[in-house]
Structure 1
Amino acid sequence: MIISVHSFRGGTGKSNTTANLSTVLAMSGKRVGVVDTDIHSPGIHVLFGLQEGDVVHSLNDYLWGKCNIEDAAIDVSPRLGRKISGQIFLIPSSMKASDIARVLREGYDVGLLNDGYQRLIEELKLDVLMIDTHPGLNEETLLSIAISDALVLIMRPDSQDYQGTAVTVEVAKKLDVPHMLLVVNKAPPIWNPNDVKARVERTFNCPVAAVLPHSDEMMTLASEGIFVIRYPNHPMTALYQQIAGMLNV
């Protein structure tokens, strides 16, 4: 199963959501692959405790023909700080400034991504492949959305996100994505989540998997670890589990 996690704008908490959903699925015994296709501004590796020196090969190397994509996969399960029954393999994008500059300057063959996704599923015997996309709509994100079995769209409850999400939902429907869920993130705690859920579902005619409130604990964690591991009994963790359950993996 391929699941894309996407947002029209940056700063919505997309990578945090991807990392936490991946961890919830792996804790249930799944073999999960996570691909960071936000090549221009990679970041999900930080959540899994990876430094530049830990990465021998990256997604960039695969796209430039330097290695097979499975060679870039890193088993990050031991870095979670808690033993889990499944596994998480992260395929990071390069953190090197020179590699990011090369991508911006030369681009890459987007078609290789589809081949790479299928090869990862086969070579690593994955139950789930999670794609952490680049914000907005471009050739790479359209490909990822088009080949996904499920799409999780992250949005914040503000006017700019409403407009951008509307465009993305329309595109996803035209691409016939089989299963689409919305997640409202960083909602002010004084707002009634049921009211927010009803308004968003009415606006986009799409189910809302969860309304995630602004969390001081999430802010304090500051991307240094996976929230559902650090705070297993927190209400936010229950919401991440709720989202994962709605993905029907």
Structure 2
Amino acid sequence: MNTQINSIQIPHTSRTIGSEKALISAEEVSGSLNVVLQFGFPAQFLADELREQIAQATGKTVNLEIRHHIVAHKVQAGISTIQGVKNIVAIASGKGGVGKSTTTANLATAMAKMGARVGVLDADLYGPSQPTMLGVKNIQPTQQDNRLIPVVNADGIQVMSIGFLIDADQAVVWRGPMVSQALQQLLFQSQWDNVDYLFIDLPPGTGDIQLTLSQKIPVTGSVVVTTPQDIALIDARKAVDMFNKVNIPIMGVLENMSVHICTNCGQHEAIFGTDGGKELAAKLGVPLLGQLPLSLPVREAMDAGTASDLHAQHEAVAAIYQQAAFAVALAIADKGRDFSSRFPKIVVE
């Protein structure tokens, strides 16, 4: 029985239940088979498909329980993980206006709907947009023991942003050191609650915030966002080069605005070019996480702060973000585990 279950392929992957060592138990009770699976990534959304495959393989009525046990994975050498946060994913573009913040909000929403505990840190301190996109712009974080408690949105996503702490119309006129210090305060002085994946929405460019990220913040991996346009790809390559220089792995490329679909006639038009993100991913040898159309519902949902409704009402869009989030989760699960928190700090006096 166990051999039959272990040989089953996990949907949307080339992995099997056996290769993931996911089978915890399989017991036949009153003619039904009670199966417990545990993965190192969120897999609850695969429950129906896995239940059907197990039933076909065993010829039994299956009661399936899916668990996940997500752990901290390796980051840059010499940097310890953050209390309350297991894995940090940096979302970068190099260039502004390509949909990086939209990607962050929707990857976080998809990951939360998959069953993970998710956080978002809005590191675009000059133009914070995550409070609006995640529907929490009118909520203020509270304090406990001199630490900020992140705001939690409707999907359970923990959100922290400079946008909570300044007036919406107030310009942030800070020099680099102040910006870097503010980023560290938002991250390290927030009371994150057992976050499996913390997505950091980076500003455009490769400046002070990105340098702080690489030197002082434990980053598990990064996602590069681009449009197919040559100009956007030039800056995306700079972001790639930056991550390579600071030894932060790139887990994939997501291509935004890949095609415009006319709402009146349905005509497809590649306004910004064709397959630029796909070619960049191939050159880097990393997955193409998805190609998203220039979409009116996505723009409307981000302005209204209704990402959750977007995923519920537009299955095609939700599927792309879910596929991308799942690919990120798999890439993290394949990394070596981080055991730094288990070792005591040695002080020589």
Question: Could you say whether these structures have the same fold, taking a TM-score greater than 0.5 normalized by the shorter chain as the test?
Answer: yes
Which residue matches 1:241? 322
Indicate the RMSD between aligned Cα atoms, in angstroms: 3.1
Q: Is the 8 A contact 1:228 1:237 kept in 2?
A: no
Which residue matches 2:206? 137
Equivalences, count: 229
Which residue matches 2:45? none
Q: Do structure 1's residue 76 and structure 2's residue 162 form an aligned pair?
A: no
SS in 2 for 1:108: helix
Q: Kindly provide the CA deviation profile for residues 57-109 of structure 1, in whole angstroms up to 9, marking residues without a partner as x.
A: 69xxxxxxxx84x41511113xxxxxx5xx211112134268644x4258526
SS in 2 for 1:242: helix
C-alpha distance in 2 between matches for 1:171 and 1:134: 14
Greater gyration radius: 2
TM superposition shift of 1:182: 0.8
State which of 158, 164, 187 in structure 2 corresponds to 1:117: 187
Q: Do structure 1's residue 90 and structure 2's residue 170 form an aligned pair?
A: no
SS in 2 for 1:42: coil
C-alpha distance in 2 between matches for 1:136 and 1:124: 30
Q: Do structure 1's residue 224 and structure 2's residue 310 form an aligned pair?
A: no
State which of 207, 217, 223 in structure 2 corresponds to 1:152: 223
TM-score, L = length of structure 1: 0.78
TM-score, L = length of structure 2: 0.57
C-alpha distance in 1 between matches for 2:139 and 2:308: 23
TM superposition shift of 1:222: 5.1
* Correspondence list, 1:189-204, <5 A: 189=260, 190=268, 195-196=275-276, 198-204=278-284
Q: Which moved more, 1:105-114 or 1:13-22?
A: 105-114
Q: Is the 8 A contact 1:24 1:244 kept in 2?
A: yes
Q: Do structure 1's residue 39 and structure 2's residue 91 form an aligned pair?
A: no
TM superposition shift of 1:162: 1.1
SS in 2 for 1:34: strand
SS in 2 for 1:110: helix
Counterpart amino acid of 1:126?
Answer: V
Counterpart amino acid of 2:323?
Answer: Q
Counterpart amino acid of 2:318?
Answer: T
C-alpha distance in 2 between matches for 1:46 and 1:151: 23
Which residue matches 2:89? 3
TM superposition shift of 1:115: 7.1
Q: 1:145 to 1:212 in 2, by over 3 A?
A: farther
C-alpha distance in 1 between matches for 2:99 and 2:88: 20
Q: Is the 8 A contact 2:310 2:318 kept in 1?
A: no
Q: Do structure 1's residue 55 and structure 2's residue 105 form an aligned pair?
A: no
Q: Is the 8 A contact 1:39 1:100 kept in 2?
A: no
TM superposition shift of 1:44: 1.2
**Structure with the larger RCO, 1 or 2 (CA within 8 Å, 6+ apart):** 1
SS in 2 for 1:35: strand
SS in 2 for 1:186: coil
Counterpart amino acid of 1:169?
Answer: V
State which of 181, 186, 206 in structure 1 corresponds to 2:252: 181
Q: Which moved more, 1:165-174 or 1:217-226?
A: 217-226
Counterpart amino acid of 2:305?
Answer: G
Q: Kindly provide the CA deviation profile for residues 11-41 of structure 1, in whole angstroms up to 9, marking residues without a partner as x.
A: 1111111111111111222221211111111
Counterpart amino acid of 2:326?
Answer: G
The structure carrying a bigger helix percent of its residues is 1
The structure carrying a bigger strand percent of its residues is 2
C-alpha distance in 1 between matches for 2:195 and 2:301: 29
Which residue matches 1:25? 111
Q: 1:138 to 1:72 in 2, by over 3 A?
A: farther
Q: Is the 8 A contact 1:4 1:145 kept in 2?
A: no
Identity of aligned residues (%): 24
Counterpart amino acid of 1:162?
Answer: L
